[in-house]
Amino acid sequence: MILIVDSGATRAEWVVIDDYHIHEPVETIGFNPYFSDQKTISEIIEKGLVPYVDPGHIREIYYYGAGCSTQQKCNIVEDALLNVFHKAHCELHHDLLGAARALFGKNDGIACILGTGSNSCYYDGKAIKENVASLGYLFGDEGSGAYLGKLLLTDILKGHVPHAIRKAFELHFDFTLENILDAVYNQPHPNRFLASFASFLGGHKNSKYVRELIKRNFEDFLREQVNKYKNHKTVTVGVVGSIGFHFGDTFRKIAGEQGLKVGKIEKSPIEGLVKYHLS
């Protein structure tokens, strides 16, 4: 049996393939080795996945995950996987390669991740050939849910939002300046905290302020990421991730206005990854 995994910072999807029978995906909490240690990751797998998948039957694991950018970080995840799947051979890759394979298969294009975090690359149909550094939620992550949340909270805390949005925010959330700063600077997973405000914005898309905020988020991403690839206007741009998916119409419009050709926009890469590995 083969296990294919895509893990972002917020959620992970696991699909078992048994003699070309594709089982229904199992969803667990996501993890990133920059924020989670081997023990934590093992516990997530044991609690969220093992009730649905027999570890003893898994022989191959193809894992694509956020944060798997160095051998050291890959080792953290691999140790966690092998702690549960003792008999499996593991092949670990960055989630960016997973996005590229899911979006383009064996064709080339610019693959973008727009979820809790963001990233992009130029993929030649076999490997990632160029990658503009994303730098994470503190220094970058333009286009992501974390960046969108940061834009909103900055405006909220500085008094730059319209009265109606501020009142809606106060009714929806019980936050003060102190606990917002505590969540960002002292608590675990500040990127998830920031990204959690994207659903609030999605519920207020009729507001001109919110539309402009979403537009700014994508414009910053295109400027800092996509437009830096020399062939950005000659190849197709594809997107995976919840932010790209839920605000896909806005992304297509802004990218089109900049002369970019947008192809697939998928909420998750897992279906494309299954097709890739079966091919």
pLDDT along the chain (279 residues), means of 10: 89 89 90 88 93 91 90 93 92 94 96 94 96 84 94 93 93 87 88 92 94 97 96 96 95 96 95 91
Question: For 185-204, b where at least 16 C-beta lie within 10 A, e where not — what string?
Answer: eeeebbbbbbbbbbebbeeb
Please report whether residue 254 resides in a domain: no
Please report whether residue 6 resides in a domain: yes
Angle, helices 208-224 vs 145-158, to 10°: value is 130
- C-beta neighbour count of 55 within 10 angstroms: 17
Which pLDDT value is given to residue 35? 83
In terms of pTM, does the model score above 0.85?
A: yes
Domain CATH code at residue 62 = 3.30.420.40
Please report whether residue 64 resides in a domain: yes
Q: Give the CB-side neighbour count of residue 124, counting CA atoms within 13 A.
A: 6
Q: What is the pLDDT of residues 122-154, one digit of tens each?
A: 999 999 999 998 877 788 899 999 999 999 999
Please report whether residue 79 resides in a domain: yes
Which pLDDT value is given to residue 9? 75
The domain total for the chain is 1
Please report whether residue 29 resides in a domain: yes
Q: What is the pLDDT of residues 164-186, one digit of tens each?
A: 999 999 988 988 888 889 988 98
Domain range for residue 43?
A: 2-98+271-278
Please report whether residue 167 resides in a domain: no
Please report whether residue 16 resides in a domain: yes
Please report whether residue 143 resides in a domain: no
For 9, residues 6+ apart whose C-beta sits below 8 A from its C-beta are 30, 31, 32, 35, 66, 67, 115, 116, 117, 189, 191, 192, 195
